Amino acid sequence: MNLKILWMYHDLMDLYGDKGNAEVLRRRAEKRGITVTLDTCTIGEKVNIDDYDLFFMGGGADREQNLIYDDLLSRKDSILEAMAHGTAFLLICGGYQLFGRYYRDQDGNIVKGLEIFDYYTEATDRSNRCIGNIAIEACIDGDTFMAVGFENHGGQTKGVTTPLGKVLSGHGNMYRSESEGFMNEQVLATYMHGPLLPKNPKIADAILKRALKKRYGEVTLEPLDDTLENCARDVMLKRLNCL
């Protein structure tokens, strides 16, 4: 089997070690004997998103996010085409926000999103910034488990009807909210950095399965030794009184 990953704006949207996610996906696939093509794409580069099994986009600082904005919007048709053909999506923070209807900044300026999903994001004042360690109970493709990460966002994302999980400790989509992220059958979007995947191998494997589904249908991934991963996760779960 072969897995083709497209890492969008790798040079701009890589704020909180999000590149670790790409590394984890690659290594976990390779350990199962799956060959991996990991391509990057930045502003102005031509790419056919539909050629890929997985679309990954991380978060960026405001300045970087403004730089990529026009370029991303110009790719809307290509994104929709890939989505229609079964490409899986992993979107972190800024990537998550930009797939929604809009982002309204602190001064009330509205930045239009890709409008692929109904949720929208509004900036908050400084005192309500969602920052700190977070633990959630995630439910992905029928599997329920605890996941941990670090969140750091001012934007409050509203109108999500199908979140990634339930907040056990931390903020989630909004300041002190109950739900975190957005998910449907193909798209997993979240505010969880850390990076997300090293400490949450179950999420990593769920994403691999979703991506492989595009060309290979339902696949079973042989289990890996996740002792270190689970220890790292449990250190945080214990600290947040979730274990």
Active-site residues: which are they? Answer: 93, 193
What is the distance between the alpha carbons of residues 221 and 223, in angstroms, rounded to a whole number? 6
Q: Quick one: tokens of 40?
A: 């990057």
| Member of 160, 187, 194, 213 binding other proteins (CB under 8 A) | 194
Within residues 47-76, the interface with other proteins by CB under 8 A covers: 61-63, 67
- How far apart, in Å, are the Cα atoms of 161 and each of 83, 120, 165, 179, 182? 19, 12, 11, 9, 8
Nearest partner of 176 among 229, 130, 238, 234, judged by Cα: 130
To the nearest whole angstrom, how small is the minimum distance from the Cβ of residue 113 to other proteins? 21
The strand pair at 187-190 and 88-92 is best described as parallel
Interface with other proteins includes 23 (CB under 8 A)?
Answer: yes
Interface with other proteins includes 231 (CB under 8 A)?
Answer: yes
| Member of 198, 205, 212, 214 binding other proteins (CB under 8 A) | 198
Interface with other proteins includes 7 (CB under 8 A)?
Answer: no
Q: For other proteins, which is the closer residue by CB, 113 or 170? A: 170
Within residues 133-162, the interface with other proteins by CB under 8 A covers: 133, 150, 152
Q: Which residue type occupies 205?
A: D
Looking at the chain, list the stretches that DSSP marks H as alpha helix, in order from N- to C-terminal side. Answer: 19-31, 62-73, 76-84, 94-98, 201-216, 227-239
Interface with other proteins includes 228 (CB under 8 A)?
Answer: yes
Q: Which residues of the chain form contacts with other proteins (CB under 8 A)? A: 11, 14-20, 23-24, 27, 61-63, 67, 131-133, 150, 152, 193-195, 198-199, 228-229, 231-232, 235
